[in-house]
Structures are given as structure tokens and as C-alpha cells.
């Protein structure tokens, strides 16, 4: 269930926040709600989820790979 909330922000910040929300295609309320969720840690992805797909495998011609393979794979 949604509930109304009154907040007070700096007069110079409000137009910037509205523009930011509009550029992302969301309402200012949605932007604030998502920010509060992030701060509260409600939708924090796991470490693995945050890093999944961010690394590429080293090629076998990479000297660092060779050094690590010698150390840990043999």
C-alpha cells in the first residue's frame, strides 16, 4: 500500500531532481522511492550478482594466467 509523504528539499535541487527523473522516464516519487530502497538495503543484489558478467577470461597467452596456472593448477 502506498502512503503520501511530505518532504522538504532545497529550491535549487527540485528542478534538477525532476529533470533527472524525467530523463530516466520515471516519476519523481518513483525516483525517491528507489533511492530510499537502495539506502535501506531492501533491493541490494548479492556480491555475485553485482559482478556476474563483468570479467572476461584471460587468454592462455596472458603471462599472468600462466603464472597463476603454474601456481594453482599444477
Query: What are the pLDDT digits (tens) for 15-34?
Result: 999 999 999 999 999 999 98
Tell me what pLDDT residue 19 has: 96
Residue bearing the bigger pLDDT, 61 or 42: 61
Predicted TM-score of the model (pTM)? 0.52
- Mean pLDDT confidence for 29-50: 82
> Is position 68 within any domain?
no
What is the rounded distance in angstroms from the CA atom of residue 68 to the CA atom of residue 23?
45
Task: Tell me the residue range of the domain where 15 lies.
Answer: 1-54
> Is position 62 within any domain?
no
pLDDT of 42 above 80: no
Best CA proximity match to 66, nearest among 52, 31, 22, 58? 58
Helices (H), the chain: 13-23, 28-40, 47-51, 63-72
pLDDT above 90 covers what percent of the chain? 45
Q: Provide the domain count of the chain.
A: 1
Side-chain-side CA neighbours of residue 59 (13 Å): 2
Amino acid at each position: 500500500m502506498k502512503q503520501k509523504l511530505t518532504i522538504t528539499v532545497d529550491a535549487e535541487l527540485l528542478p534538477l531532481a525532476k529533470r533527472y527523473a524525467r530523463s530516466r522516464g520515471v516519476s519523481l516519487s518513483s525516483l525517491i522511492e528507489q533511492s530510499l530502497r537502495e539506502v535501506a538495503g531492501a533491493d541490494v543484489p548479492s556480491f555475485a550478482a553485482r559482478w556476474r558478467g563483468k570479467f572476461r577470461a584471460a587468454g592462455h597467452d596472458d603471462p599472468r594466467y600462466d603464472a597463476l596456472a603454474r601456481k594453482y593448477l599444477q
